[in-house]
Structure 1
Amino acid sequence: MVMSSNSYYFTEAFVMRFCLKSERMTPERPVFMHGFGGRTQKSEGVHDELYVKAAMLEANKTLLILTIDALGSDRSFVVGIKDALQEKFGLGHDEVLINFSHTHHSVFLTGLDAGLRRGAYSMAQEGWTDSETQLDYSEDEAFFRFMRDTILQMTAYCRDHLEEGELAIGRGKSDFAVSRRKPDGDGVIWAPYYEGEIDKELLVVTLTDRSGMVKGILYNYGCHTTAMGPDNMLLSNDFAGQTSCVLEESYPGATALFLQGCGGELKPLRSAAGSRFKSLSIAEMIDSGTELANDVKAILKQGELTPVRCNFKTALADPLLYTEQTEAAFYEPMTNHPDYNAFYWNSAKRTMRAIEDGTIKDRLPHCICIWHLDDDTRLVAMEGEVSTEYSLLIKKLFGSSRTTLTLGYTNGVYSYVPTRKMIREGGYEAECNFFFHLRGPFVPEIEDIIVGQIVLTDMKLSNTM
C-alpha cells in the first residue's frame, strides 16, 4: 500500500504490469483547425506540439488507454484504429479507450470508411462549405494512416516493455472550470454561471514502478479545452498541453495523460470575465494550465493514494439516441441570419437538403464503455460531448464509497449529449444538432436510455467472475 508520495510497499495483490509511450502527432503543414465556426483560414504555426499517448495496463487482461490531442473523431477513425489493434494484438474493442482532449486548436479526425464518416469538415479545406461534394478527404485519410501506424508502433513498444508496478488513485477537488449555461428566465444564455452545480472532482491515477518512481500520471477532469479562442491560429493542446508539460517537468521520467471528463458545458474559470467569457492570451492560457497542474500536484504530494487491486473487467454498450422530427422549414431562417457566420449558414443548408432528400439522421448510436479496475474502482467512458450533469448523476448512482472516473469525448465525438433538464431549457448544447447532420434536438428520454444502459452494463460486469 502507499506509505507516502514516494515511499511504497508492494503486495502481490496490487502488482500489475504497465508501460507508457508518447509520440508527436503535430501536422507538418498548415491545416484548417476545427472547433470554432468563426475561423476562415488554416493554421499559421505551432505553439505546442500535439501528442498521442498510450498507457498499457496488464493484470488478468490487457487494457490500452490512448489519449489524442484533437477535437475528436468520428467512428470511421475509432473503428479503423480499434480494428487494427484487434487484428495485430488481439485487443477487443472493449479493451481500448480512445480519449480526445477536445482542444479547439487541432483537427477533427476521420478514417478510411466513408460510411462511418461524420463529414462536413476536412483538415485540408480552405473554409466552411455547404456541400459534402466540395470536400476532399485524401489528406485526412493520409493522416489516419499515419496515426494508425504510429499507434500500432506505440502499442508494440508497450507490449515489449511492460514492467511491474502499482496502479493507485487519488481524489481531490478543483475550481478550474465554470458552467457556461446561465439561467435566463425559462431558458439559458451563454455566460459564466458561477453558482452552477458542476462536477469539480479531480481524479489522479498513478503508475509507479517497483522502486517507487512515478512513471505515469493520468488526470481526469471535465472542461472544454478552450482557454484560448478562435483568434488563436497556432496549433496547441490549450491548457491541457501546459498541464501535462508541467507535470512531466515536475516528475522527471513520467508521462502525463489528460483524461477528458464530462465537460460539455464547462469552460476554464480563468476565461470568465464578469458576465461574459474572453479568449485568453497564450500567456494567460499557460497560467491556466499551470493552475490545473498545481491542483494535480497537490493531490500527489498529499500521498493519500489508494492502491487498486487490479482485476480488470470490461464491457461495451451502444444504445441508440433519438432526435425530434424537426421539419426542414425550421432551419430556413438560419441560412442567411445576419447574426450567424458561414458555419451556421452552411450547416442549416445541409440539414434542410438532407431532410428533403431523406438522408438526414434521426437516431445516433452512443458508445458507452465501462471498466472495472477492481471491485471498488470503475471507469465509465462515453462518446460525445457529455454534460457534467451526467458525471454528477453517475457518481451519485454508484456512491461516494467507490471511485468512479467519468470520461466524455471517448471512442468518438459526434455531438453534444445533453440531459433531460438541458433539453427542456434549450440553449446551445441542446439545440446545435443540425451542425452534425442530425434532424433535430434529442428527445428528453435519451437520459433514461444512457443511464439505464450504464446501470445494466455495470450490473452484468459486477456479476461476472
Structure 2
Amino acid sequence: MSALIYAPSGFAGHIGVARRDITPPIGIYNRNWGAAAGEVATGIHRPLTLTALALMRDASGAQPLVLLSLDLGWWRTREDEWEVRSAILDALGVAERRVLLHLTHTHAGPSICRADADRPGGHLIGPYLDHVRAMCVEAAREAVQRAAPAVLEWAYGTCALARNRDLPDPDANRIVCGFNPHAPADDTLLIGRVAGAGGEIRATLVNYAMHPVTLAWQNALISPDFVGAMREVVEAHTDSAPCLFLQGASGELAPMEAYTGDADIADKNGRGLGFAALSVLAGMLPPGQRLRYTGVVESGAPLAAWTREPAALSTHLSARMLAIEIPLKPDLPSTAEIAAQLAAANEPFMIERLRRQHRLRRAIGAGDHPSSPSSIWLWRVGDALLIATPNEAYSHLQIELRRRFPGRAIAVLNITNGSYAYLPPREMYGRDQYQVWQTPYAAGCLERVIATCSSAIAEMLSE
C-alpha cells in the first residue's frame, strides 16, 4: 500500500518569546485621520505591546531569525523606522535579512514621526520612540536568550470578519473605502502554534488580513484596535502564552463594522477573531504528530482509516532579502509641488492628505525616477514560508502565492521593515479610488511583487 500522509507545515528548533509594554503617554499627538477633530490622545482603551519571537536551529544562539510584532500604525519616514530596526540589528549582531519589524497597523495609536514634534503633543514623540527602540532591543535579546527546544506548527482556518472595503459610491463615479456587501473577501486565517518539549503552548501567531480601522476619527483613545481583544481571548485559553498578531495582505480588507468611536465594537471584532483562532488551535494535531492512512475498514460504507504517528519536523531555517525596483507613475508631483499645495490648503482632511503625500514622496525618492527601490523579506521556517513587505499589498498577493505553492503554510505580512504605499491590482488603475491615487507605484506593481516572490520561493525550495 502506498503511503498517504497528512502532516502540517512545521519547524523543530529552539524558539524564544518575550514581550514589552509600549503604551504611550496620554497627551501624545495621535491625529491619524483627516476627519479627526482632536489632535492628542485623551486616554487608553487597551495597552499597546510588542512581542518578539526568536527562531534558531540549535542552542548556540548564532544567527537567529527574530520577528517583532508592535501595536503601532505606520512609519511616516524611513529615518524613524531605521533608527529602531538598526538598533535591533546592532544589538543582535545579525544581517538585515534576519529581523522583521512588523506593525499591526492600528489606526488608534500615537504618531511615530519625529517630524511631528511641532504638533500638539508632538514633544512626546521623540522620547516615546526612544522608549520603543529600547524595548525592542530588550525584547529581541530576551527572546534569543530564552530560546529552548520547541516546535512551530501551522494550520489554516477561516474567519468571516474581514470584508471587502472597495465600495462603489452610489452617488458618484468613484470607489470609497467602506464595507462592500457584494464583493468577495479573503477570509483565510493562518495560525502558528509554538509548543515546548512537554507539549505546552509557549506562543501563538495569528496571521489574518484585516485593517484595524474599527476606531476612527471619533476616537481619542490609544488602542491596538481589535488586536487587543483578540490577543486577550487567545491568551486566556492558552495559559497566557504570548500571542503575536501578523497583519496580512489587507489592502482592500476591513471589518464590516468600522470607522466608529465605540471601543466596544473594536473589542467585539477582536473577540470574533480570537475565537476563530482558538477554533483552529483546537483542531490541530498534538505537537510533533502527523496522520498516516492505514487502509479501508469495511462497514456500512468503506471507511478510510487514519492513525497518528510521530512526525520528523524540518529544521531548515533560512532568510533572504530581495531587492526589487517598483515602477513609479510617470506624472508624480515633485516634493516642491506638493509643498506648494500644502501651503495653500485650509481644509483639515486635505492638509492631512498632503502631509502624508509629501512624506511618501520623500521616502520613495524626491527626484524624477522611473522606479523606486524596495525590498521583500522571505523566510523559510521548516516547511513554512513568511513573506514580508513594507507596502500594503492587496490580498491577491497572499491568495496567489498560496495557490502557486499549495500544501505548505504561507504567511504574508504587510507593513514590515518600513511602510510606504498600496500595491493594488493592475485592473484597478484608472478608477477614482483611494488606494490607486494614494500610491506612487504604477499599474503592475502588485503583479511584479508576486512574480519576484514566486521566483525566489521556487529557488529557496529547490535548495
TM-score by length of 1: 0.80
User: How many Å separate the matches in 2 of 1:211 and 1:252?
Assistant: 14
Aligned pairs for 1:206-355 (under 5 A) are: 206-271=193-258, 278-279=259-260, 281-304=262-285, 309-326=314-331, 340-344=349-353
1:365 to 355, 359, 373: 373
Aligned pairs for 1:355-394 (under 5 A) are: 363-374=371-382, 376-394=383-401
Question: CA shift at 1:363, angstroms?
Answer: 4.0
8 A Cα contact 1:172 1:299, kept in partner: yes
1:125 to 119, 123, 128: 119
1:51 to 49, 52, 59: 49
Structure 1 residues 404 and 236, CA gap change in structure 2 (3 angstroms): same
User: How many Å separate the matches in 1 of 2:332 and 2:418?
Assistant: 28
User: How many Å separate the matches in 1 of 2:222 and 2:175?
Assistant: 32
Aligned pairs for 1:93-132 (under 5 A) are: 93-110=96-113, 122=116, 125-126=119-120
8 A Cα contact 2:18 2:139, kept in partner: yes
8 A Cα contact 2:29 2:125, kept in partner: no
What secondary structure, in the 3-state scheme, does the structure 2 residue paired with 1:54 have?
strand
Structure 1 residues 323 and 151, CA gap change in structure 2 (3 angstroms): same
User: How many Å separate the matches in 2 of 1:340 and 1:66?
Assistant: 32
Unaligned runs of 5+ in 2: 1-9, 289-312
Structure 1 residues 58 and 422, CA gap change in structure 2 (3 angstroms): same
Structure 1 residues 34 and 102, CA gap change in structure 2 (3 angstroms): farther
What secondary structure, in the 3-state scheme, does the structure 1 residue paired with 2:399 have?
helix
Corresponding position of 1:438: none
Corresponding position of 2:40: 42
Corresponding position of 2:65: 63
Unaligned runs of 5+ in 1: 1-12, 111-118, 128-135, 272-277, 434-440
Structure 1 residues 249 and 313, CA gap change in structure 2 (3 angstroms): same
CA displacement, residues 271-301 of structure 1 (integer Å, 9 cap, x when unaligned): 3xxxxxx515112221111111000011111
Pick which of 290-299 and 77-86 moved more: 77-86
Letter in 2 for 1:22: R
Corresponding position of 2:451: 452
Letter in 2 for 1:344: R
Corresponding position of 1:113: none
User: How many Å separate the matches in 2 of 1:328 and 1:67?
Assistant: 34
Pick which of 229-238 and 414-423 moved more: 414-423
Number of equivalent positions: 416
The RMSD of aligned alpha carbons is: 3.1
Question: CA shift at 1:107, angstroms?
Answer: 2.6
CA displacement, residues 153-179 of structure 1 (integer Å, 9 cap, x when unaligned): 222222222221211111101111111
Aligned pairs for 1:129-144 (under 5 A) are: 139-144=124-129
Question: Is 1:25 aligned with 2:22?
Answer: yes
Question: Is 1:79 aligned with 2:103?
Answer: no
What secondary structure, in the 3-state scheme, does the structure 2 residue paired with 1:247 have?
helix
8 A Cα contact 2:217 2:261, kept in partner: no
Corresponding position of 2:416: 410
Corresponding position of 1:396: 403
Pick which of 339-348 and 37-46 moved more: 339-348
Question: Is 1:430 aligned with 2:430?
Answer: no
CA displacement, residues 408-458 of structure 1 (integer Å, 9 cap, x when unaligned): 11111122222212224340111124xxxxxxx421132342122212322
1:198 to 185, 192, 195: 185
8 A Cα contact 1:18 1:165, kept in partner: yes
User: How many Å separate the matches in 1 of 2:349 and 2:261?
Assistant: 23
Structure 1 residues 178 and 156, CA gap change in structure 2 (3 angstroms): same
Question: Is 1:179 aligned with 2:179?
Answer: no
8 A Cα contact 1:23 1:52, kept in partner: yes
Structure 1 residues 426 and 442, CA gap change in structure 2 (3 angstroms): farther
8 A Cα contact 1:19 1:57, kept in partner: yes
User: How many Å separate the matches in 1 of 2:283 and 2:69?
Assistant: 26
TM-score by length of 2: 0.81
Question: CA shift at 1:225, angstroms?
Answer: 0.5
Select the structure of larger CA radius of gyration.
2
CA displacement, residues 342-396 of structure 1 (integer Å, 9 cap, x when unaligned): 3236567x59x99xxx65776433221111112x321111112221122222222
User: How many Å separate the matches in 1 of 2:396 and 2:424?
Assistant: 8
Corresponding position of 1:3: none
What secondary structure, in the 3-state scheme, does the structure 1 residue paired with 2:257 have?
helix
User: How many Å separate the matches in 2 of 1:280 and 1:51?
Assistant: 21
